[in-house]
Chains A and B, each alone.
Chain A
């Protein structure tokens, strides 16, 4: 992923919570534009575009995905 370019990803709901995707997209809105293309019962498909800045596009995307994973795991494994 280079500056200004886009990455298209399918996030399985077995791992990633749709609400976590939305929350992380909001948190990274200064660096990334995250567009949710579709969301089925099984997965959410997104397109991520780097908006520029000091951080490398690849690194921002990886940080974003880690954040989605963190939020998702916390929600999925929350007791009760």
Chain B
């Protein structure tokens, strides 16, 4: 069985009897997204990644279990690529906001370093109430 899709697409797949080859356009999917997607598949697939041209990675995928359908793996890998790329995009879009939130949280936490009010030896202020004339 052999399957190929159009050349203009960011992801092209070719499959033979036991392996699937995906060509990934680096201008669409970052290298980091690709590596993360590959990492998630190493428990059930054998992967080999190489450069097949400028800005194009070739990913050879072979299922560890013989009964696994390569078409399903291809679809799941493509979804994983999209997932990782979206996570990365959101992370870069929100990193400044995240830094501000963390900075603000730490700034507010600085107050914890100050000594608490009152006397630690008399937390319920028994001695103070006596001097104030309270019961």
Interface residue ranges, A against B (CB under 8 Å)? 9-12, 14-16, 62-63, 65-66, 69-70, 72-74, 76-77
Interface residue ranges, B against A (CB under 8 Å)? 31-32, 35-36, 38-39, 42, 46-51, 57, 62
Chain A residues, CB < 8 A from B50:
10-12, 15
Q: Is B42 touching A66 in the complex (CB atoms < 8 A)?
A: yes
Select one of B36, B46, B48, B51 contacting A73, CB under 8 A.
B36
Chain A residues, CB < 8 A from B42:
66, 69-70
Q: How far, in whole Å, are A63 and B47 apart by their CA atoms in the complex?
A: 9
Q: Is B62 touching A69 in the complex (CB atoms < 8 A)?
A: no
Q: Is B47 touching A69 in the complex (CB atoms < 8 A)?
A: yes
Q: Is A73 touching B38 in the complex (CB atoms < 8 A)?
A: yes
Residue of B nearest to A16 (CB): B49
Task: List, sorted by A's number, 21 A–B pairs whose CB atoms are closer than 8 Å.
Answer: A12-B49, A12-B51, A14-B51, A15-B31, A15-B49, A15-B50, A16-B49, A62-B46, A65-B46, A65-B48, A66-B42, A69-B38, A69-B39, A69-B48, A69-B49, A70-B39, A73-B35, A73-B36, A73-B38, A76-B32, A77-B39
